[in-house]
Chain A
């Protein structure tokens, strides 16, 4: 088992950009043994995906170029192989699973056809035999009703099922090495757990090696024997999973471990990677964590700010020739709760449980079907359009995707001052820009960046811009809709800390919507667990984690990666 399957030696990859040459990977060395899982960890832009593309020979040239190094696969250098030789290895001996299952399957072919194709491409078998193997594979990756599902099109399957199909496709030719590039990042935690388990089992059964790329150390702990940590193109640490988790050496690794909210302890603020990188070696041991004091949730001193009574949102399902409404989809089904001032309510559930619809219905971004939303004594349902617009000053929302929630054609300054302009705050543009400048400082961005456009910022920075925009009208209440889900864990910690800092400073009340119970547990005072449009469990955050009543809640809790290495 200790035979080396893939060996990367002194790999250097450069990209030519408008601003000059970027070294994406610098002097990278890594060995993958037969049957072993190697985790490659790093934040976006650290060069981990570039490394995997280099192995597959998929670096786009130009602008990318492998300047030196060798990648030995079973003793042969992949970089020196001809296109034809490489094609025989790719998909056959080495296969790859991508992050986005929605876009890596071809929407116009059935999943069966796509797996058949992968088999026929590399093995000389008849279509009938290929289909037989396809069925076996689908069974193996745990697709229910696989005999019918084989003829389904990708859009008829859920995200988790599509990722299973991708795994089946990657497994089709019994590869020696499987490269998984963030295979579970786009999935809910519950589905992530199932997919990880599946990969773990398949690997044990077939004894293939795996290179598992992710930004999340928690996930790595579940699968990897060996962990390599990349930071800005450099390999900063590489050792066995046990060693990395029990005794991380590099400050960056230490930071990555600390920045993930854990389930057992509840710090006041999360430690960030920066804390560790900035600290001198000797001082790392001095880094202390302050723990949170639980706030009273039904304290009479704190008035109820928001009350939701029997809120419902149904979407009609149209059918028949005349497009009549044949049924209703109950996205939010009879939800009630109270939220006190200065508290954080966490709404948790899998995708499709109605948590996002609930958030938007509260702000009347979509009109609720029935029910009352009472915000500091005012029933929002009774307000007309202009009264509601005035109310929006007090209630804000921060969206999930920092890439699509900023208008790409407006400068950051215009984006942040737009709410002020709409509500006639500030006498002129200059005054509004002064407000924007102070907001930029508050969210930790440079004031000089007000003249830039959103595409010049990273995901985390964009989310800060969204927060600045939400804060510009000095709201009392903010809904955060999966606001950190699209971010790397290290960036997520910074944004979560920022949200808490801002809460202290402006006395904000939040509803925090997320599929990740770990994040919600860190942030929220009370938690509502949603399933199929209903709140199935509602309790104090600490209660829910100690004594979950519903099976559904227990499942969600179980799915959170613990960050304890399972393999040595």
Chain B
């Protein structure tokens, strides 16, 4: 019996390609990213603040998602919100993964005093209620995008760090890592060339989960008035619609929640498919 040639990641990619739902999710995510890029570069929704119609006109062919109190297009606001969501998701996920992987690998590999310090640090951090911490950071840094990035990035790395620490410890005991020391390999080589590629599946899966968690957290922060200021985001749109609902204006709320739902759902499905394809512990349980 010969197994089809190729690396483990090539193998995983082939498996994901077979999953129709996962591919659809990936497609949806790509579209969101493209919309966000178009919005950043000004191709889409550059004039979102312009008045395009009457105040609170219901969805029609002219204004697919209707207009808001100032007669601005809700569609364009949603697109602008996508930009915020994707950028927050990306920056936060990258930030939290960088911190989580770095600290987790250090703690797991070196053990001893370094490990104790890192564990002490993250247990202290995680003993503070996350939302309180977010509020505190947002208040210190002042409201705005930077505060959102940092607040979310600096609080979401703990679970990944724990996972990576445990996994790295396990891999340190494995014979291939000992073989690397036996041939004279140094610490950096063992960590970066041997151990980290073998825990990369955790990082990838975590990336997709962090991304959507960050999107949701941004919405909550903005809803609480601690998030982005002076520009539309899904959270501020939902915040606005608090008062609108009483007057029967539902479209702003609908546009923001539907936009959020699709991207979060897509990330969840993709995350599960990634886990099935990449996690060696689930191999053979199809």
Interface residues of chain A, those whose CB is within 8 Å of chain B, are: 17-19, 22, 45, 360, 363, 365, 389-390, 392-393, 396-397, 399-401, 404-411, 418-419, 422-423, 451-453, 455-456, 466, 469, 473
Contacts and interface: CB of A to CB of B under 8 A. Distances in A.
B229 interface: no
Contact of A365 (B8, B178, B197, B198): B178
B132 to A, nearest CB: 32
Interface string B1-20: 11111111100000000000
7 shortest A-B CB distances, which residue pairs?
A: A405-B175, A419-B183, A392-B184, A409-B197, A399-B175, A389-B184, A407-B176
Contacts of A45: 1
A363 B7 CA distance: 32
Interface of A (DSSP majority class): loop
Nearest to A401: B175
Interface in B154-189: 174-176, 178-186, 189
B6 A408 contact: no
A439 B181 CA distance: 21
Given A392-B182, A453-B8, A455-B8, A19 B174 contact: no
B216 interface: no
Given A17-B1, A422-B183, 7 more contacts: A360-B178, A396-B182, A405-B174, A406-B176, A407-B176, A410-B197, A422-B189
Contacts of B2: 19, 456
10 contacts: A18-B4, A365-B178, A389-B184, A397-B178, A397-B182, A399-B175, A406-B179, A409-B9, A409-B197, A452-B5
B194 interface: yes
Nearest to A457: B3
B185 A399 contact: no
Given A19-B2, A405-B175, A452-B5, A365 B181 contact: yes
A390 B184 contact: yes
Contacts of B198: 407-409
Contacts of B181: 365
A410 B8 CA distance: 9
A392 B183 contact: yes
Interface string B47-89: 0000000000000000000000000000000000000000000
A392 B1 CA distance: 37
Contacts of A407: 176, 180, 194, 197-198
A389 B182 contact: no
Nearest to B6: A453
Interface in B103-157: none
Contacts of A390: 184
A399 B178 contact: yes
A411 B178 CA distance: 18
Contacts of B200: 409
A399 B7 contact: no
A72 B186 CA distance: 60
Nearest to B178: A365
Nearest to A419: B183
Contact of B176 (A392, A405, A451): A405
A409 B5 contact: no
A419 B185 CA distance: 8
Interface string B222-250: 00000000000000000000000000000
Nearest to B197: A409
Given A17-B1, A455-B8, A422 B185 contact: yes
Interface in B1-48: 1-9
A418 B180 contact: yes
Contacts of B193: 410
A372 B262 CA distance: 66
B183 A418 contact: yes
Most chain B CB atoms below 10 A, which of A408, A409, A466: A409
Nearest to B14: A18
Contacts of A399: 175, 178-179
Contact of A456 (B3, B178, B179, B185): B3
Contacts of A22: 1
B8 A466 contact: no
A396 B8 contact: no
B182 A363 contact: yes
A392 B180 CA distance: 11
Most buried by A among B2, B197, B198: B2
A469 B4 contact: no
Nearest to A366: B178
Contact of B179 (A405, A423, A453, A455): A405
Contacts of B186: 389, 422
A469 B175 CA distance: 13
Contacts of B183: 392, 396, 418-419, 422, 469, 473
Interface-central residue, B1, B7, B176, B181, by most chain A CB under 10 Å: B176
Contacts of B8: 408-409, 453, 455
